[in-house]
């Protein structure tokens, strides 16, 4: 059975150029004299998945026709596009349409590397997916703030593919192609702007609920209390999540807590139990199994893999 092509490259040196993940790299420099960057890359000329590890770097790039999603796990990424600036820390996400931007990434500490997963895909490919899936949308809006639940599923899928590849368990080529096709559909559903003038009250309530989950995930938060905070019943909140295409609220909260635990494990701060408890996870007996299902490895493996 034909396996996928996996390419991993490391470079170092003060003025080295990073491996090409974008249309054109205008400038690249490490933030440290002994800087280095490692890139694991999957995919072909269309959709590309990559995992980046870096001591910290400053890059200016031009991407005229592709969509890019960045999922940092440890450290901070700051991007400047024209006069605007945005950033994301571990567990966050940044989405960009075609643009020219300057990106600076910094590691979380001197002992640890900046780590992020990346997805890039041509907008033409998304347009083709629109036609194939016969989705009722007006246009793709890459600058649209993606839905947290859907983005979490995309993050998880990318992470599992890359983790398997790095662990010498790459998917067969056909399975990779199928996975990339599913990712394209997920992206269209997240980034497509419905042909409706405004979001429904239910959609707004879902967005508010997810924001509250992210803010209070480390606390003993119940779905009933969350619904009361939003002025609705637990049943109506569950219905709103289902109508918006999300898993149940409890599943979304569990995923947010697992993501938070992974960020803590990657930072190397504490032990497995402490990272779980600090992320709001109280059912420690189920933690390892749920974590492995989401990320493809045991929590102890993540903690032990820090650089």
What average pLDDT does range 55-80 have in this prediction? 90
pLDDT digits (tens, 9 = 90+) for 206-253: 988 998 998 889 888 888 888 888 888 888 888 889 888 889 899 999
- In angstroms, how far is the first alpha carbon of the chain from the final one? 33
CA dist., res. 117 & res. 113, Å (int): 13
Q: CA 173, 179, 185 angle in degrees (round to 5)?
A: 140
CA dist., res. 86 & res. 80, Å (int): 7
Q: Residue 70 is inside which H or E element, if any? A: strand 66-74
- Which one is predicted more confidently, 121 or 194? 121
Q: Exposed e or buried b for every residue in 112-144, given b needs 16+ CB within 10 A?
A: bbbbbbbbbbbbebbeebbeeeeeeeeebebee
pLDDT at 273: 92
Tokens, residue 62: 């031009």
Judged by average pLDDT, the poorest of 15-29, 240-254, 282-296 is: 15-29
Alpha helices in 217-248 (DSSP H): 223-230, 234-243
Residue 48 above 60 pLDDT? Answer: yes
Domain 201-304 in CATH 2.40.160.20? The answer is: no
Q: Which residue intervals of the chain bear CATH 1.10.10.60?
A: 201-304
Q: Which residue intervals of the chain bear CATH 2.60.120.10?
A: 1-197
Reported as a pLDDT band with limits 50, 70 and 90, residue 196 is very low
pLDDT at 146: 53
Sorted by sequence, the CB contacts under 8 Å of residue 134 that are 6+ apart come out as none
Tokens, residue 93: 């996400």
Q: Which CATH class is domain 1-197?
A: mainly beta
Residue 194 above 70 pLDDT? Answer: no
Nearest to 153 by CA among 116, 187, 194: 187
- Which one is predicted more confidently, 192 or 37? 37
Helix 201-216 with 223-230: angle, nearest 10 deg: 130
Class of residue 24 by CB neighbours under 10 A (exposed 0-12, middle 13-18, buried 19+): exposed
Task: Give bridge partners of residue 79 from the DSSP assignment.
Answer: 86, 103
Reported as a pLDDT band with limits 50, 70 and 90, residue 133 is low
Long-range contacts of 248-254 (CB under 8 A, 24+ apart): 249/209, 249/213, 249/223, 250/223, 252/148, 252/149, 252/152, 252/210, 252/213, 253/213, 253/217, 253/221, 253/223, 254/290
Q: pTM of the full predicted structure? A: 0.59
């Amino acid at each position: 059975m034909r396996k996928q092509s996996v390419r991993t490259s490391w470079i170092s040196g003060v003025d080295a150029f990073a491996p090409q993940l974008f249309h054109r790299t205008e400038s690249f420099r490490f933030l440290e004299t002994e800087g280095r960057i490692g890139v694991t890359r999957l995919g072909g000329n269309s959709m590309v998945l990559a995992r980046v590890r870096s001591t910290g770097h400053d890059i200016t790039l031009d991407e005229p026709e592709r969509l890019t999603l960045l999922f940092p796990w440890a450290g901070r990424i700051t991007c400047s596009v024209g006069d605007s600036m945005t950033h994301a820390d571990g567990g966050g996400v940044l989405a960009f349409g075609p643009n020219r931007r300057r990106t600076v990434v910094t590691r979380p500490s001197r002992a640890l590397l900046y780590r992020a997963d990346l997805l890039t895909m041509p907008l033409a490919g998304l347009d083709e997916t629109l036609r194939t899936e016969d989705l009722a949308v007006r246009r793709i809006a890459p600058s649209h703030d993606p839905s947290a639940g859907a983005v979490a599923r995309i993050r998880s899928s990318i992470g599992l593919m890359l983790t398997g590849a790095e662990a010498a368990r790459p998917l067969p080529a056909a399975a990779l192609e199928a996975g990339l096709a599913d990712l394209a559909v997920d992206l269209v559903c997240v980034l497509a702007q419905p042909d409706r003038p405004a979001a429904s009250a239910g959609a707004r309530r879902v967005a508010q609920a997810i924001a509250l989950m992210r803010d209070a995930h480390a606390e003993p938060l119940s779905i009933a209390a969350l619904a009361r905070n939003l002025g609705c019943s637990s049943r109506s909140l569950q219905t709103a999540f289902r109508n918006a295409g999300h898993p149940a609220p409890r599943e979304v909260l569990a995923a947010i807590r697992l993501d938070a635990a992974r960020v803590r494990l990657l930072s190397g701060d504490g032990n497995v139990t402490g990272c779980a408890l600090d992320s709001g996870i109280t059912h420690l007996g189920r933690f390892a199994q749920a974590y492995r299902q989401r990320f493809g490895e045991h929590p102890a493996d993540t903690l032990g893999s820090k650089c």
